[in-house]
Copies of this chain bind each other. A is one copy, B any other.
Amino acid sequence: MNFSITEENYIKNIYHLQQQSELVNTNSLAYELHTKPASVTDMLKKLQIKNLLDYEKYKGFRLTNKGNKVAINIVRRHRLWEFFLVTKLGFEWDKVHSIAEELEHVSNQELIQKLDRFLNHPQIDPHGDPIPDGNGKIPIIHQLSIADVAEKKKVMVSSVANQSPAILELLNHYHINIGTEIKINQRFSFDGSIEIKVGKYAACTISELVAKNIFVYHD
């Protein structure tokens, strides 16, 4: 089944609001979508008719199983594109969200499948959020801040918590990016700074603050 861009945006935002509270209400959805409550009510009816929404007048609403599947697929597309934009095109984190918001509506199944393979089946997007797989399964990924990784371990960067241009500047300087391999050489107890080796670059030292913001895959 195919949905309009507008419908997809409603579905996706309902999904996200449901992560915080079981039942979603009209006003908060209207706020997220930068639209008016009256418009939301109209769309709720349409989504209910299409069996995407459990909705009772004045009582709030939630996605059906079917609606949930559709939502997860949109989220998957969004996060895959974000990963692509950062790791392949060299975008900075703060720019990718709005672009991915457009790309996510290109709904060709084969496209997403091939994109996923091209990116090597990433499990975490640049913001640290999990990327659902083709079956809608959301991986539970164990991430650890570099500050907590044991010495001598080799790890791969999965995401970065703080997304300010300031930390970006620093990470670029250290050649650290999503997917970068890092070896933890030595931790210094005086100030919590850590000597690391990034890829094949010469070893360098990062502050504890930076270390705490860099997350890596960890099983």
Contact = CB atoms under 8 A, between A and B. Distances in A.
Nearest to A114: B89
A94 interface: no
A137 to B, nearest CB: 23
A111 interface: yes
Nearest to A108: B99
Nearest to A5: B5
Contact of A114 (B91, B102, B105, B108): B91
Interface residues of A, number: 19
A192 to B, nearest CB: 36
Interface string A95-114: 10011001101101011001
Given A95-B110, A110-B95, A89 B118 contact: yes
A102 B91 contact: no
Interface in A119-144: none
Contact of A99 (B88, B105, B111, B117): B111
A115 interface: yes
Nearest to A107: B102
Contact of A88 (B85, B90, B118): B118
Contacts of A88: 118
A111 B91 CA distance: 8
Interface of A: 85, 88-91, 95, 98-99, 102-103, 105-106, 108, 110-111, 114-115, 117-118
15 contacts: A85-B111, A88-B118, A89-B111, A89-B114, A89-B115, A90-B118, A91-B110, A91-B114, A95-B110, A99-B108, A99-B111, A102-B105, A102-B108, A103-B106, A106-B106
